[in-house]
Amino acid sequence: MKTFVVKAFGTEAPEADLKQMNIERREATAKDVEIDILYCGVCHSDLHTARNEWHRTTYPNVPGHEIVGRVTKTGAGVTKIRVGDLVAVGCMVDSCRECGQCRNGSEQYCEKGMVPTYNGREKYLNRQTFGGYSERVVVDEDFVLRIPGNLDLAATAPLLCAAVTTWSPLKHWETGPGKKVGIAGIGGLGHMGVKLAKAMGAHVVVITTSPSKIEDAMRLGADEVVLSTDAEQMKTSANSLHFILDCVSAQHDINAYLKLLKVDGTLVLVGAPEHPLPVSPFSLIPARRSLAGSTIGSIRETQEMLDFCGRHNITADIELITIQDINSAYERLLKGDVKYRFVIDMASLKNPKPV
């Protein structure tokens, strides 16, 4: 299969900075779409993967799975997308398409393993996938998404992971009118969870360790804020929530959050701390509470989420950076020093400004 070379930013080892490198992309097959990348969001997963914190990174590694761009070429068999369209690519670019989960439209749970946008294995070249910190990407049209025309393109990029990762469990557990929903952690995931849960009609309670985030939580749409560091507030809020979306990626006391749930309430993990979280049986048993997890959404769910965001004019709160800023952005991300998602202007890779 023919390939072509594009510029990218990636890393060659866990302790190494990201730097410019060249990577190969496949030439578009009959069902492929070639996309000129305009913006790419920076997810905490990018940092985890680049630094091998989940112990499954292949190097060299080019992160990025929140991609917004313009179509430059389509294969002969492409029917849903045209050259010039503004499109998006999220966390996966393929799946087996044959297992029960794929046939049911839940390819994120592909029984053979979905193909992630980066650090996966693509079937065409039998080599690893490279992500959106690059000039262009080639993706099967079935994994390419349409962007509502009213949304800001840069601020749309984080919707491809941060929003759909919160949207999927909020929909699956049927949160909405009449439900009291807790969002734990106001970062890249959490701030989207607040916006989406509020637009879906839920009563939204933000759970945070930071008094400095109270005002911002209300701005994002929260009806209430509970400080998890305040024992009295936590006691008062016990047994009050139908559902909690736990977006915290750092170590934390999950038992304290579980106690906020009503009988039959559910806490769903979407944040991914590096180390296991101890769970006390007595945080669950006395109130028949459930602890669950959720990954990204399916292609169908991602498109539904984008369309919903278009109707409600929902995008992420972002800070636009150049690709040359990525290493300092990772350090700031570790410190929580961003409101609430970095997005890379990929024009900076194609035409870097002189230092």
Mean pLDDT value across the chain: 96
Give the model's pLDDT for residue 232: 97
User: Which helix (H) or strand (E) is 20 found in, with range?
Assistant: strand 19-26
138 contacts: CB under 8 Å, gap ≥ 6? 25, 26, 27, 28, 32, 33, 34, 35
Q: Residue 102 pLDDT more than 90?
A: yes
- The domains found in the chain, sorted by start residue, are 3-161+297-350 (3.90.180.10), 162-293 (3.40.50.720)
Separation CA 124–CA 26 (nearest Å)? 8
pLDDT in tens, 106-148: 999 999 999 999 999 998 889 999 999 999 999 999 999 999 9
**Coil, strand or helix: which one is 62?**
coil
Global pTM? 0.94
Q: What band does 239 get if pLDDT is binned at 50, 70 and 90? A: very high
Q: Residue 304 pLDDT more than 70?
A: yes
Residue 337 neighbours by CB distance under 10 Å: 10
Give the model's pLDDT for residue 279: 96
Percent of the chain with pLDDT strictly greater than 70: 99
Paired residues of 344 in beta bridges = 40, 321
Give the model's pLDDT for residue 355: 53
pLDDT in tens, 317-340: 999 999 999 999 999 998 889 999
HSE (CB half, 13 Å, CA atoms) of 278? Answer: 3
Query: Rounded mean pLDDT of 255-270?
Result: 98
Separation CA 153–CA 306 (nearest Å)? 12
Number of H helices, E strands in the chain: 11, 19
